[in-house]
Amino acid sequence: MDQSIEHLMQPVRPDAPAGEDLAYSLIFDQIREARRSDDPSLAMGDWEQSLKTAEWPQVIRLCEDALKNKSKDLQLLAWYAEAQTQVNGAGGLARGLALVGGWLRDFWESGYPELDPHDLDERVAKLEWMNQQLGNALRNVPLIKPEFGGYSWHQWQQSRDVENLGLKDGEAREAAIAEGKLSGEAFEKAATLSGHGWFHAKAEELVALLTAYEELDALVDQRFGQAGPAWPTSATPSTPARTWSCAIASNSPATRQRPRRSGSPSRKANP
């Protein structure tokens, strides 16, 4: 486990290693409020007001304080992993998953929600919720340096869809770009500007992330057995992580082909 987070898995106190149940506490309310964000697509009516955005660094601080000093709660770990992903990308997600693995190893008996060997549904629900949130968060992590667009997995996939569309209908491709969709050429240019060092660092983060996910998956199987969470393949963090690795491999300046001339469609993307 990363030494920077090991202290979060130390016992809260000798007489109560897992601390107390915070399910209905003020700290949980504070974390919920910190991670809350308004949907910008919703109509605001006649009253104009500032849209609230999630305060992910604050979520990290609140979760770290609670995990260290108050409770070894699976919900805290889920929020922490989500916030780490939002702030620190794949590396943050790897740290979050490592902490969940530490909880399964060291606080399975004493951690919260309290263990009921005959009914693991509450714990399963926490993990399923976490899994969905982390997959979504990872898809929004920048693949490209922020100063060159900060394009995420979503934009990378969009650029491949645009180029695949161009293989069938060049005019449709141009129309999609005119509507604001990202072209493969634009993504590749941003990848070139980001440089090999950027992609090499991202590749190392992905190795750590996939290792953490595989270790966590094994621990979940060990603890839950047949009662374990239902993790749809498309929703697990490993799915965008693996396609992330495809994006890195195909767009790193050291490994990818040179961009085709302007107006020529790029190679067809794999599904």
Q: Where are the domains of the chain?
A: 6-36+53-251
Token pair belonging to 78: 């889920």
Q: What pLDDT score does 102 carry?
A: 96
CA 143 to CA 14: how far, in whole Å? Answer: 44
Residue 128 DSSP SS3 = helix
R_g (Cα) of the chain, nearest Å: 21
Q: What is the model's pLDDT at position 200?
A: 86
pLDDT of the chain, 271 residues: tens digit per residue: 677 789 999 999 999 999 999 999 999 999 999 999 987 766 555 556 678 899 999 999 999 999 999 999 999 999 999 999 999 999 999 999 999 999 999 999 999 999 999 999 999 999 999 998 988 888 888 989 999 999 998 899 999 999 999 999 999 999 999 999 999 999 999 999 999 898 888 888 888 888 999 999 999 999 999 999 987 654 555 555 555 555 565 555 544 443 333 333 333 333 3
Q: Which two tokens stand for residue 270?
A: 């794999």
Closest CA to 79 of 143, 32, 27, 20: 32
pLDDT given at position 269? 31
> What was the pLDDT predicted at 73?
98
Q: Which residues contact 206 (CB under 8 A, 6 or more apart)?
A: 90, 241, 244, 245, 248
Residues 6+ apart with CB under 8 A from 264: none
Q: According to the model, what pLDDT value does residue 262 have?
A: 36
Burial code (b: 16+ CB inside 10 Å, e: under 16) for 61-90 equals ebbbebbeebbbbbbbbbbbbbbbbbebbb
Q: What residue type is assigned to position 209 of the chain?
A: L
Per-residue confidence (pLDDT) for residue 62, from 0 to 100: 98
Q: Which residues pair with 16 in a beta bridge?
A: 13
For 264, the 3-state DSSP assignment is coil
Cα 123 from Cα 254, distance rounded (Å): 44
Structure tokens at 211: 């290792």
pTM beyond cutoff 0.95: no
